[in-house]
Amino acid sequence: MKMLAMAFCVLGGGVLFSTAAQRISTTPERPKFKIEIRATGEKGQGPSFAVTNLTAKTVTACVFEQSYPSQGARKTTIVWDALVQGNSPIEPGQTVTRPLIPIIGGALPNKVEVIAGIWADGESFGPPKWATNIFNDRALRASQYEDAAAILQRGLDQNWNRNQYQQAFSDKPDSGPVYTVRTALTATQQTGQAPQEFTHTMQFLLRTFKQQSDQLRKSKPL
């Protein structure tokens, strides 16, 4: 099942943005986060930075701005979303570690700031455009889970075999859930799963996709 586990890791891939407008409650003030740069890395890991949530609220997404003074004050932004990337939210007082992202030439940032984010209650802080992008991406991901779940449900209702699932997903646009199903189909074929075990795998995927979709839908602004 190693291939299946790897497939679920892909569900936390890159962030896509759409432009649909949403009504979002955004607070202008920037909350307090402590950020410590660890350029040397720890335990064999590469350069990173530690983020401590000094607020009284749980944060589910952050936009990190990295500054590179050695490159003419260049800046880059990174969107981290626990709900999309399969991570745990950052609770009050909790510290998490994220990798530092070098730019071309290997230059590392010497400053990282949290410039925007989403709280667990659906409210946001920082420039509204970032909250709009994050919520739009969550809606997109939820739709992808729901589309894949609908196909899995039809397959289970009609007692499809592996070939029928492969055919149903063969022409679907690439997405995290679609890739996960395709990888699972390959893995179950290689391991020679019996029909009953194969059905359990499809049922597991269906439950997981529904849970992910529900979580993303419930995260919308109040």
Structural domain of 44: 29-125
Number of independent structural domains in the chain: 2
Residues of the chain with pLDDT under 50: 1-3, 5-6, 8-23, 28
112/142 same-domain check: no
pLDDT of residue 29: 56
113/138 same-domain check: no
pLDDT of residue 26: 54
In a domain, 89, yes or no: yes
DSSP assignments along 183-206, one per residue = HHHHHHHHHT--HHHHHHHHHHHH
CATH number of the domain at 86, please. 2.60.40
**Rounded to an integer, what distance in angstroms lies between the CA atom of residue 62 and that of residue 184?**
31
In a domain, 24, yes or no: no
pLDDT of residue 119: 95
91/142 same-domain check: no
Is residue 33 within 8 A of residue 82, CB to CB? The reply is: no
Encode pLDDT of 20-68 as tens digits.
Answer: 334 455 554 568 999 999 877 666 678 899 999 999 999 999 999 999 8
92/178 same-domain check: no
Q: Select from 64, 94, 125 the last residue of a domain.
A: 125
- Nearest CA among 18, 48, 218, 35 for reference residue 118: 218
Q: What is the pTM of this model?
A: 0.80
